[in-house]
Every structure is written in structure tokens, then in C-alpha cells.
Amino acid sequence: MRKMTKVRAFLGVLAVVLLVVSAAGCGVVSDQTKQEAKNKVEAKAKQAKQEVKKKAEDKGQQVRQKVKQKVEDGQKNLENKVDDLKKKVATSQKELEKKADDLKKEVKTGQKDLKNKVDGVQKDVNELQDKVDELLKKLDAQDKQNQ
């Protein structure tokens, strides 16, 4: 019986040791599982943070591209408007020069016409003066005859 008691005691101690080892082993696995889960969560958080950062950078780049494109379009539009205005100014300047030339021609033509008319009037005045002089000579001659 003594042997039986020893075996029972030995089995009891063994059971307690197994329980303690099992509990301790489960605790280590549990801590290890917790660490792995923590590492996975941290890795996913880091990955999510990187993805958000990348998306933000991509969005920022897209916005910069859009702004740059709008600026370039605005500059092209402005350059086109300036070119159009330059063309209008050049066209208006040519039209004004043509009108000025036409007016100069009209003035020259008017001056020639006026000179011709003045010359004609002067000629008529000279002819009338000659006739008046002739008539005065005739009158003088008649007056001499009558005296």
C-alpha cells in the first residue's frame, strides 16, 4: 500500500506539474499570440498610413498638375488675346493711314482745283482789266475828239 500511496502522490505531483507547465505554456503562447497580433496591427497601421500618405501625395500632385495646366491655359488665352489686339491695332493703324492718304489726295486735288479756279478767275480779271483799259482809252480818245 505504501507503494500505491507513493504512486498516487507521484501522480498527483505529476498532475500538478502538468497543470502548472500547461498553464505556463499557454501563457507564453498567449503572450506570443498577443505580440504577433500587436505586430500585425502595427504593420497594418503602418501600411494604411503609407497608403494614406501616398494617396495624399498623389492627390496633391494631381492638384498641382491641374493648377499648372490652368495657368498655362490662362497664359495661352492671354497671349491669344494680346495677339488679337495687336492685329486689331495694326489693322486700325493701316486703315487710319489709308484714310489719311486718301484725305491728303483729296486735299491735293482740292488745292489743284482751287488753283485752277483762282487762275481762271485771275485770267478773267486780267481780261476784264484789259477791256476796261481799252474802254478807258477809247473814252479818252473820244474825249479828245470831243474837245
pLDDT tens across 38-92, in order? 898 898 888 988 998 898 999 999 999 999 999 999 999 999 999 999 999 999 9
pLDDT at res. 79: 97
Output b/e per residue, 106-123; b: 16+ Cβ within 10 A.
Answer: eeeeeeeeeeeeeeeeee
Mean pLDDT rounded to a whole number for the chain? 86
The Cα–Cα gap between 15 and 11 comes to 6
The Cα–Cα gap between 127 and 37 comes to 132
Q: With 90 as the cut, is the pLDDT of residue 115 above it?
A: yes
Greater confidence (34 vs 90) lies with 90
Q: With 70 as the cut, is the pLDDT of residue 99 above it?
A: yes
The Cα–Cα gap between 130 and 138 comes to 12
